[in-house]
Structures are given as structure tokens and as C-alpha cells.
Structure 1
Amino acid sequence: MGFRSFLRNLRSDKSGNAALIVALGMPALIGGTGYAVDTAQWYTWKQELQFATDQAAIAGAYAQSKEITQQDYATRAEQEFEANLAITADIASEPDISLASYNGGTDNSVIVRASATATLPFSSFLTGKGTTVSVFSQARFQQGASYTSCVIATDDDDDGAITIRGNATLTAGCGMAALSNSDQAIIVDGNPQVDAGYIMSAGGIDDALTSLGDNQLLEYVEGLEDPYDDLTPPDNPTPREYKCQNNRGSKFASLQPGTYSDLTIQCDTILAGGIYVIEGGSLDINAQDDLTGNGVMFVLKDGANIKINGGSSVNLTAMTIGELIAAGVSAEDAEKLAGMLIFEDPNGDEASKDHVINGNASTVLNGIVYLPKSHVRFNGTASVTSQCFMLAASTIDIGGTADMTSFCPPDEVIDETVLTTKSLVRLVA
């Protein structure tokens, strides 16, 4: 048989087709299998690295969101990255950790980049080199904020818990807060001038406040709190009476701390430092009389109320920690009560009364006025010289000739917090 006959017979013979096809396809089959194995390995590397950089970016962002840990953000990110490595622990690069600007912010996100390089049997046979897998993660952060307020209404559901009337002026910019969840928790009645900075409420706020000054309204806020809710007023049971004395035709009174059934000021009066408890009566300061007291606290019990009349000269300064301790208050309680000028006992069963503050340019109130059971009408002004003035009551009505442009002396700030927001961290890439 000649060669040509052999080729014709081979071409027409079908008995070896399958073996030939398998032989011809074997390189592709082996190559596909090898590539699949290598691809699965790459995917595993990438999945582990991606998770590690995600967790690292989140950890770094959380560190950046708190002032106390900001300087350690890269260290915390690196620790979290390394803690999440397993099969790539020996082939992963050091993470590249940095801050970046996100969505219009400045350095408000953490970026983590990493890679892993290794030689795999099949892919290295084709390429002659190892394979590198790279990943990238980005987490944005927003620091939590603490908000303070110099005017606080503590009632939890009243309409008009804070009401601002007439032509009142409130431009201190130190915050205003109502804990009421009413849709009308803070309302305006008139044309006042209000520049309070942050105005916060657990309920709704009158839209008029957006046009009355440079105010930022925070409505229906969760987490507003009374910073003095857990305080208990101190006591001073020593019984006292108020009496004016004559001195060459002039009347005056020099009082000692203790418990008074009433404290209606009827002549120029000087208070010695200490705790003054008023049971059921009034702290009533007449227009023609002066009242001076340094290092004092008034505790109102049994429905006692205060009334500061316009025209009176008042100069009162709250007790310091040292003065409270000297008066028998524990060091722990003294630290909480320091700066409290007027404290209404929140635990009494007696019906509360309205309180009135009609101050003027001669009214100096250095300290906190806390009336958690009562309504207060603030129709005047008050000056400060050594401590911040703060007004907290169940409900507050500001009107008349109210004029408050400053609640704190220079270099002093209100530090009692009414709202603390949580830090926000979110993985964005």
C-alpha cells in the first residue's frame, strides 16, 4: 500500500476520533483547570485583603471621630488590618493609611490600601512572574458633638415650653433647649430679636426663629436631657428670721445662712456666705432695696418662689466647691452643685408657683437658676461678673423688656451638656 493510500484510509477511518479530540483538547483542559485554581486563589486573597482593609479603615475612622484618639488613627487601623489576615499574612504588604477629603469635607475620611504578591504554579508558568492583588477601602467619619444651652425648659410635653414674646432681645448665642416633645415646644409671639446659636427641641420649633437671627434649629431631637436632673438640693435646718435694723435712721439687714419661712427683702440686705433654705414663702426683692450675697445658694422648698422686681439692685454669686464643702456638703456633691445659685427642690409635693425675674442693669446673677417644677417669667435683664448665668425651669416665658446679650463673663463658657450626638462612621468605598 502506497503512502497516498494510507492517508486516504486514515482520513476515512472513524475509530480513533474520540482519542484524537481528547489529545488535542488536553492542553486547553489542563490550562483551564490550572487557571481556575489560580483564579480561586486570587479571589481568596482579594476577599481576605478587602475585609482587612475595610476593618482597618473603619477602625481608623472611629479613632479620628474622637478627639482623644485622633493621633492614633493610623496605629489603630494597622492593628485592625493585621488582626484580620490569615492566608495572606506572609504575602501582604504593609497597609498604606492616610486621610482624604470626602464629599466636600476636609480630611474627613480614612483610606487604606494594601496588596498581596505571590507566585502560583500555572500563572507564573505563563507570565514568568508572580501575581499581585490590590485592594482599597475608604471610611468617612463625623465627630460626635456636645451641645450646651443657657436657657433650658425641662417640661416633657408642654406647648410653648419656651415662649418668646414682644420685643425681647436674646442674642447671647449660647443655645436654647426645650425637652418638650410638643409640635409647638418653642414658639414666638411678637417680633423679638433672637440670635441664640443652636435652638434645640425634642418637639417642634416655630419657623419664625429662622428669620429672627442667625439660628440653627434642631427639631425632634432624641437624647436631650436635663443636666441637673439627678441633683439633690442641700439642706441647712438652722432656723432664722429676717429682720431689718435701724442705724442712724437707715434700715439694713445682715443675714446668716439657715432656714427662713419667708425672705421678703424690706431693706438693704447683705447675706453671709452659705445655704439659705426658704420654706413655703418667697424670695421677694423689692424695687427700692438692695440685696448682696457672695458665695450663696437659695434652696426653695414647699412651693417657695422668687420675685425680683425691676428697679432693685441685686448682686448674687453662687458658691464654689470649696465653699460648699465648708458648708458641710460632700466633696462629690459639691463638685456637682458648684455654681448653683437658686435651686428649687424637685421632690416636694406642693404645687409650684410662678417665678418672676424683672432684672435691670443693676441685677447681677452669677450662677445657675434651676426651677424644675415651675414656670418662670423673665422680663428684664441680668449681668454677670464672675460666673455664667443659666436659666433652667419647667417652662420659660421671655418677654417684656428682656434683654440678654451675654450669659457669661469673658473667658467663661457654659459647660453643662444638654445633648451629645454619637460619632458617625460609614464605609463608603
Structure 2
Amino acid sequence: MKGSPDRVGFLRRLAECRSGNAIVLGAMAAPVLVSAAGFAIDTSQWFLWKREMQYAADQAAISAAWSLAKGISKTAYTTHAQQEFTSNLAITADFATTPTVDLVNYNNGTSNAVRVTASATRKLPFYGFVSGQSATVSVSAQASFAKGATYTSCIIATNATADGAITIGGSAVLKSGCGLAALSNSTNSIRVSGNPTIDVNYLMSAGGIDDWFNTNTDDVVKEYMTTLSDPFASLTPPTNPTKGTTYSCVKSGNTTVATLNPGTYSTITTSCNTVLNPGIYVIDGGGVTIRAQDAVTANGVMFVLKNGAYFKLNGGSSINLSAMTQSQLLAAGLTSAQATSLEGMLIFEDRNSTGNVSTLNGNSDSIINGTVYFPKSTLSFGGTARVTSRCLQITANMISIQGNVNMTSFCPTGMQTSTQVGTDAPSVILVS
């Protein structure tokens, strides 16, 4: 056992030596410390990749959702998502996969959300060195979208600032069921006076609406909308250079009848029962006046009002007015595009006209079928008139409905009565 005491003594002295203990402990702890440092670096690197890719996926989902909310095609929204994802990558740009973009259902909806998924695989500095394996980061983002609701109306006032752009008063009965819309930003753009009966389902305005509706009806009220517009603002009225025929009442059996052909007139004032043949009637500077005792038939016509011309249909008149069809407009010499856009236009006031006051009063036998458009004039309904129609669309600078007017039939069930006047802004929400 030679040398044993020395070895035992060495170990005893080593155990008692503080420096020796530190060396041993340091040597034993070195692998743990190196591993901890390596994993810390790897964890930081992994979270950096994860954070960058998650942000890129979020932005891609939002971009694609906005594309769909605005009605862009599937190919376009997928491309937008991929472009947005790539543009937000830096550290992972070289090894991230191309994102997968899918339409999914959200919150009981159908294909109303976009989901973007992607991954990136690469060796981390320490883990990759020790194991020889790569680490994968996977991300997913989902954004829901809603297209802006479309709003339609069959009664529209286009004045941008007027108080009482639509005024309803007296004992008027208005049960159109197809909405009222005022483009005025006035705090009282749709106003009520007297004791009318109103049921229009919904009201829209660029300004405020009389509180009367909240108190007296269950109609939906939408105020201070920023997306309302004149649906006919882009249209141009046609012309008709043909000189109008002379108005003449001719005896026919027990009645007298006047017959007119399309053309340009300064004034048309009925003095007997009157028939207007199909076509375009331009009224330049004067007006159309239909007397209470006269019956007027005008099927397939359009009245174009210029230079302050007006249209007055007096109470008691028995009339049947209907707008031109597309084929009739083509036959009158309009282009296909014009015929398509002007089909159904019954009265069209030229936007360059000085404006006037026009009245549409009738009785239970009156039929008005088409769009009446007075962008510069006030359109008034008054007296004891009953205005019925097959399909009536009313748009004017200002609209006044007073007296004992009864407006309850705007279109037969199942037929179009309203024109788009605005939309809500689309919305997008990042949901996961």
C-alpha cells in the first residue's frame, strides 16, 4: 500500500481546500451552464421567428379580408394575403413557407372569414448543433369580414343642406314600405308636421331625422350616414329635335280627344282627354299641366324638363302614365348603354335646369309607373290626392307631402320598388 497515505492526504487536503472545491464544482456545472445559455439563445431566436411570422400572418389575414369585404375576387384576395405576408418578413424571409389562405366560417356565418397559416423550419444554434434536428415555427391568423349593407329607397331627396328636405304634414297617409332617404346634412333633414300616418319601414339621412318617428312609428332610423348618394347623378337626359305637334281637341263620339306625338314642346296644357303616343317629350322652358277634369293616357313615354320647365298633375285627374322600355328607347334612337340606364325613367328634369315647383296629384284611378327625377326642383304632393302606381320611384331636390294625400301603393308585390341610395362601410375584425 505504498503511497496510499500520500493519496489519502492529498484527497483530505483537496477536500479542505476552498479553491479546489470551486474548480471541481465549476467543472461539474459547466455543461449545465452551457446548455442553459444555449437554450436561452435558442428560445429567444424561436420567439423572434414566431413573433415576426405571427404579425405577418395577422396582416395577411386582414388584407385578404378587406379585399373580400370590398368584393374583390378569390384570386385577388389570395394574392393580397401572400404579398402582405411576404412584405412583413425579415429574419424568416428566406425559410418561411408560402402562406395558405382559406375561406372559413365564423360565428355561424358562411365563408365570412379568412384564415392564413404558415410555417418556418430551420436549425436553432444550440439545439441544432446538439441534436442535428431543425425547429419548426407554425402560425395561424383569422380575420372575419362583412360587406357593407346596401340601402335602397323609393323616395329620395337630393338637396345636400336643406332643413326639411323631406317634409310630411297634414293628415297625409304614407305607407310606401320602401324607405325614405334624405341626402341633406341638416339636423332635421326629414321633418314631420301635423298628424300624418307613416309606415315606410326605414329612414336614412346624411343629417338628423325628426324624433317624431321614434315616438310614433317602429320604422328603423339611420342618421348621419356618410355613404348616401344620388343614384341618378351620372345620367344624362336625351333630346328630341323633332318639333312637337299642335295640341288640338277633336270630337270622337261623345268625347273630345287630343293626340300628341313625341317631340320638343314649350308647353303642354290639356283642355280635353289626351293621348300621348310613345316616345320622348322634351318640355323646354314651359311646363306640362294636366287639368283635374281631363283623362290622360301616356304609355311608353319620357318627359324631359329643361330651362325651368315644370310638371303639374292636378287633383282629380285620371291618368295612366308609364315609362319607356329599353326596346322603345332603342327605337327612339338611343344607344344601347343609354337605353339600359334610362329604362323606366318617366320624368327627367335636366340637371342644368333652373328648377321649379312640380306637383303630382291624382285620384284613385291614377296610375304612375316609372321613375320621376327632379334634381333641381321641389316635388309637392298635396290636397286630397290619392297617388297610386304600378311602380313609382320618387327622387327630387326636395319633397313635400301635405294635406290629405294618400300614398299607399308604390308597386305590386314582388316587383322592384327601390333604388340603391347608399351602403354601410365594410368591416374587418382580426378574431384569432
What's the TM-score, normalizing by structure 1? Answer: 0.85
What's the C-alpha RMSD, in Å, of the aligned pairs?
Answer: 3.3
- For residue 198 of structure 1, report the CA deviation from its aligned partner: 2.8
- Whether 1:169 and 2:176 are equivalent positions in the alignment is no
Aligned-partner residue type, residue 403 of structure 1: N
8 Å Cα contact 1:262-1:278 kept in structure 2: yes
What residue number does 2:268 align with? 263
More displaced 10-residue stretch of structure 1: 42-51 or 121-130? 121-130
8 Å Cα contact 1:97-1:113 kept in structure 2: no
- Compared CA separation, residues 77 and 225, structure 1 to 2 (3 A): closer
8 Å Cα contact 1:293-1:316 kept in structure 2: yes
Aligned-partner residue type, residue 184 of structure 2: S
Provide the rounded CA distance (Å) in 1 between the counterparts of 2:236 and 2:102: 53
- Whether 1:214 and 2:218 are equivalent positions in the alignment is yes
What residue number does 1:362 align with? 365
Aligned-partner residue type, residue 420 of structure 1: T
What residue number does 2:147 align with? 143
Pick from 290, 293, 296: which aligns with 2:295?
290
- For residue 144 of structure 1, report the CA deviation from its aligned partner: 1.6
What residue number does 2:107 align with? 101
What residue number does 2:232 align with? 228
- Whether 1:427 and 2:430 are equivalent positions in the alignment is yes
| Other structure's SS at 1:325 match | helix
What residue number does 1:374 align with? 377
Aligned-partner residue type, residue 374 of structure 1: S
**Percent identity of the aligned residues?**
47
8 Å Cα contact 2:82-2:99 kept in structure 1: no
1:124-149 residue CA offsets vs partner (Å, 9 max, x unmatched): 89999976655442312112222121
Aligned-partner residue type, residue 321 of structure 2: L
Pick from 228, 234, 256: which aligns with 1:251?
256
- Compared CA separation, residues 96 and 28, structure 1 to 2 (3 A): farther
Count of residue pairs the alignment pairs up: 421
8 Å Cα contact 2:153-2:421 kept in structure 1: yes
Provide the rounded CA distance (Å) in 1 between the counterparts of 2:18 and 2:255: 137
8 Å Cα contact 1:61-1:73 kept in structure 2: no
1:341-365 residue CA offsets vs partner (Å, 9 max, x unmatched): 11112213x4x32211122211111
- For residue 391 of structure 1, report the CA deviation from its aligned partner: 0.9
Provide the rounded CA distance (Å) in 1 between the counterparts of 2:102 and 2:275: 68
Alignment of 1:254-333 (within 5 A): 254-333=259-338
- For residue 289 of structure 1, report the CA deviation from its aligned partner: 0.7
What residue number does 2:13 align with? 9
| Other structure's SS at 1:383 match | strand
- For residue 291 of structure 1, report the CA deviation from its aligned partner: 0.5
Aligned-partner residue type, residue 307 of structure 2: D
Provide the rounded CA distance (Å) in 2 between the counterparts of 1:260 and 1:185: 36
What's the TM-score, normalizing by structure 2? Answer: 0.85
- Compared CA separation, residues 397 and 134, structure 1 to 2 (3 A): same
Alignment of 1:119-138 (within 5 A): 123=127, 133-138=137-142
- For residue 99 of structure 1, report the CA deviation from its aligned partner: 1.5
- Whether 1:343 and 2:348 are equivalent positions in the alignment is yes
- Compared CA separation, residues 76 and 197, structure 1 to 2 (3 A): farther
